[in-house]
Structure 1
Amino acid sequence: PNYIRSSQSSLHSYKHQEKHVQQEHKNIMNVITRYLIREHHIPLTATIIREFSQHLETSLHQQYMIPLSHLNIYRTRKEFKLMKSIQHRLQKGNYILHETDKSGIFHIGNSVDYEKKAEAYRQKIGAYIELDSNPLWCVFDKVILLLNDLRSKKYILSWQLGKMMPKRETVQLAYLYFIPKPHKVIHF
């Protein structure tokens, strides 16, 4: 990226920074110890793991806890306030923040204008049909029915059924290439 905001941790209290360091340390150590145990058969009590853990914690403390100059603290807080101000104005004005294709440039537009343009495009092309109901739950029920049928006929084992069974909270329809994904369009 062209710009990274300086020391975001300076916006938070010492306690919050310490908690963040501990969380980062825990996550990294979990990944590394699992790898070392699985791939290299190094026991969890090995001194090399303890030494690495200490070095990692020291490095994380230096990264997150090093005091900044007053100028950098001022700059960071000023940029944070500016960012919050922009977010507030976007929410208040009912705007959409949208990243353009592959260029990394953001476009800000009114959500009503986007809806009008989308409707005009659908009318012009005439290729889209608005569905009366969501087909997701019909497909979801069919998948569950078929999986239970496979299990009852003993084509799959119970652990396989558990792995393949869709979860109602996380299931979603696949996105088509022309429909923007939720992480690409930010509604305010």
Structure 2
Amino acid sequence: MNVITRYLIREHHIPLTATIIREFSQHLETSLHQQYMIPLSYLNIYRTRKEFKLMNSIQHRLQQGNYILRETDKSGIFHIGNLVDYEKKAEAYRQKTGAYIELDSNPLWSVFDKVILLLNDLRSKEYILSWQLNKMMLKRETVQLAYLYFIPKTS
């Protein structure tokens, strides 16, 4: 609440003694208490424990049976397959196409640094505007390399 109050004072010039801040504070406290402090019902606790046990059981069976669980391409449906079959299909596809090679190291960060340097270079030479640079700038937390999947596509 202190952070929100300081923000309201600084950005919106609302005085600290305003009644709206006191009312908002009370409403926020009540809402947070109702959302997070009220004990769960027995039914919700039972359902949560049951789903947790089910999830652990599925994970254990996947590991035990050497299976792999993947989300299908675009539809979001899950596919369970044998890990050995998955690896065989991947290797056969790489051999057949010759398009993929296995990398010894992860080139993500060198590619990331090169892209940042090139974007900054474009901006310094005024080929792009600052808002375009901001829109194209990569975020280190979300960037990832593409990788190969052998997941059935659903129709």
Q: Which category describes the TM-score, using the shorter chain as reference length?
A: 0.5 to 0.7
Aligned pair in 2 of structure 1 residues 80, 45: CA closer, same or farther (>3 Å)? Answer: farther
**Alignment length, in residue pairs?**
153
**TM-fit CA distance, 1:78:** 2.1
Aligned pair in 2 of structure 1 residues 160, 50: CA closer, same or farther (>3 Å)? Answer: farther
Q: Is the 8 A contact 2:89 2:150 kept in 1?
A: no
- Measured against aligned partners, the alpha-carbon deviations of 1:41-65 in whole angstroms (never above 9, x if no partner) come to 3345644233222212212222233
Aligned pair in 2 of structure 1 residues 105, 174: CA closer, same or farther (>3 Å)? Answer: closer
Aligned pair in 2 of structure 1 residues 126, 30: CA closer, same or farther (>3 Å)? Answer: farther
Aligned pair in 2 of structure 1 residues 71, 156: CA closer, same or farther (>3 Å)? Answer: closer
Q: Which runs of 5+ in 1 are unaligned?
A: 1-28, 182-188
Moved more, 32-41 or 138-147: 138-147
Aligned pair in 2 of structure 1 residues 166, 100: CA closer, same or farther (>3 Å)? Answer: closer
Q: Distance in 1 between matches of 2:11 and 2:151?
A: 42
Aligned pair in 2 of structure 1 residues 117, 150: CA closer, same or farther (>3 Å)? Answer: closer
**TM-fit CA distance, 1:125:** 1.7
**TM-fit CA distance, 1:31:** 7.8
Moved more, 49-58 or 62-71: 62-71
- Measured against aligned partners, the alpha-carbon deviations of 1:6-46 in whole angstroms (never above 9, x if no partner) come to xxxxxxxxxxxxxxxxxxxxxxx588557645653334564
For 2:138, the equivalent position in structure 1 comes to 166
Say which SS state the counterpart of residue 130 (structure 1) adopts.
Answer: coil
Q: Which structure has more RCO (C-alpha within 8 Å, separation ≥ 6)?
A: 1
Q: Is the 8 A contact 2:73 2:151 kept in 1?
A: no
Calculate the aligned-residue CA RMSD, in Å: 5.5
Q: Distance in 2 between matches of 1:106 and 1:140?
A: 31
> TM-score normalized by structure 2?
0.57
